[in-house]
Structure 1
């Protein structure tokens, strides 16, 4: 049996994590995204199992891999990278992993909120530009503020805990309410509209569905306080990018922190948003910690073995 990590070399800094696969077959590891179908065939044309973390699989690529039995995404949200229905129609099992980086992303959301609230990026730029001034750099404290957590799955729950530990009043929105959060942190669940109206900071932790795609639009953004902050380390598709851009340049929203984009690498429109002075923009690194990285490989290997 042959296993191919077609683009995941960047994740493999501990080769021993792949030993369970080596025990039952041949393992090949490649760096970088294949340039097209021909390179996909060169790397993995004879593979029974392909693991991937970065690339988009087209239907043409799937057609060119007749031996393929399992396609393992080293992450969450495989539907954004491959047409799962088409793959399964060809007898290819498409697998996902969940929870490997929940704490990493929750910590990142908290760090983003703190950085925005304390004006850390612009303060850093002041000194890098050989200037000494505190003009425009007055920050806000998380303690005593209201933080709205939209989506309280594993990442949202951990985010709520961290903001509560900082002394914030946490409110939440989710169709499935967490009894744990209500009982242990006195968190109140409210409507989406109420969360956007009341929160000083809104942090997004929803999965994208047909019902909530682009749900964060002009109507919701216009409800926010003018000094409020929006954090999106979930999925870009939750937010109407044009409406967010307009809210930020008009002064109707004080700032935003963004780690996810409609297209990755971003389009010119996303770069335009990222370059605003009241925006912190990062290249989708919320999950990217040593601990989460190791967890992702361990979980992907276990998922592959279980599928076989």
Structure 2
């Protein structure tokens, strides 16, 4: 099948090419999918996109006009895709639901360790030949209470890792996982209780209408003074302006994130010698107790292999006129 890959990065090309065992005709472009670039998809039946691409209703309509009938998302999240519009137009959409929960969970715990032991500051100091430890006093994760918001596949792995550190675990999810309680003594509580009791809070929920700005000023005020907040989910699950206010007044003691609510057009690009006007992001990066990584949690060899192979499994199914087990659809009642 003729497939165009938008937002293609150098680090993923080899994995994608190796996974194309059915020898589909491919075109890889660096441009992100948007209304400005949608016509690049003319003549292709499949478009493959990533988290930063725009597959909103207007773009979906143009894709349909251009003859596109399939959208393969090479990521788990699909908040950037209007599934309802795609379904109405008969465009089939797939994602990669399980490429490596370990990659994300381990990155989240890595952020916790780096912040709790002030590793970025220590690294900066020793590179300036400053070997003093006076301002590098951290804290143990052992015996700390960690609240896990979202105990799906990634949150479950995070629970396993943190249990190994000797942490006390609290969980919040619309669907409780009894196995986590049995194996790791995780106790489910309501969101306010989790925030009130946790020394560290880590977020592992998808972005949707219910979770957008879930972490806001009202919830932050219920948290322990000096709490550590970790977000490796989606940027807009957190109200960044409210987090900044919490950092300024000391309510939030540490903030670690691999995502940012306005990352589209920023993350995955080098702005060292370019104009950079995001004042909110600049403010966030000005705090010494903030550690931000550029949406790299997924970027392990294992995860990239799984993303590529699952993406081409989805495309292969379409080529064989079969339904992929990863197809996304809205409830038919929503379409009426």
Task: Describe the SS at the equivalent of 2:210.
Answer: coil
| Other-structure match for 1:19 | 21
> Equivalent residues in 2 for 1:5-84 (5 A)?
5-10=5-10, 11-14=12-15, 15-20=17-22, 22=23, 25-30=24-29, 32-34=30-32, 37=35, 39-42=37-40, 44-53=41-50, 54-57=52-55, 59-60=58-59, 62-63=61-62, 65-80=65-80, 82-84=81-83
| Other-structure match for 2:284 | 273
CA contact (8 A) 1:152 1:178 kept: yes
- For the pair 1:302 / 2:302, whether they are aligned, the reply is no
Q: Distance in 2 between matches of 1:218 and 1:40?
A: 38
Task: Describe the SS at the equivalent of 1:149.
Answer: strand
Q: Distance in 2 between matches of 1:279 and 1:83?
A: 33
Q: Distance in 2 between matches of 1:38 and 1:206?
A: 31
> Equivalent residues in 2 for 1:1-308 (5 A)?
1-10=1-10, 11-14=12-15, 15-20=17-22, 22=23, 25-30=24-29, 32-34=30-32, 37=35, 39-42=37-40, 44-53=41-50, 54-57=52-55, 59-60=58-59, 62-63=61-62, 65-80=65-80, 82-264=81-263, 265=266, 267-307=278-318, 308=321
Q: C-alpha deviations, 1:115-174, integer Å up to 9, x for none?
A: 111111111122233323222211111111111111100000000110001111111111
Unaligned 5+ runs, structure 1: none
Task: Describe the SS at the equivalent of 1:203.
Answer: strand
Q: Distance in 2 between matches of 1:49 and 1:62?
A: 14
Question: Taking structure 1 as reference, are residues 271 and 144 closer, same or farther at Cα in structure 2, changes over 3 Å only?
Answer: same
Task: Describe the SS at the equivalent of 1:19.
Answer: coil
CA contact (8 A) 1:78 1:95 kept: no
Task: Describe the SS at the equivalent of 1:132.
Answer: coil
**What is the CA distance between 1:61 and its match in structure 2?**
6.6
Query: What's the TM-score once normalised by structure 1's chain length?
Result: 0.91
Question: Taking structure 1 as reference, are residues 194 and 209 closer, same or farther at Cα in structure 2, changes over 3 Å only?
Answer: same
CA contact (8 A) 2:34 2:55 kept: no
CA contact (8 A) 1:34 1:40 kept: no
Aligned Cα RMSD in Å?
2.0
Aligned residues: 302
Unaligned 5+ runs, structure 2: 268-277, 322-336
| Other-structure match for 2:328 | none
Q: Distance in 2 between matches of 1:52 and 1:242?
A: 29
CA contact (8 A) 2:195 2:201 kept: yes
Q: Distance in 2 between matches of 1:37 and 1:214?
A: 26
| Other-structure match for 2:330 | none
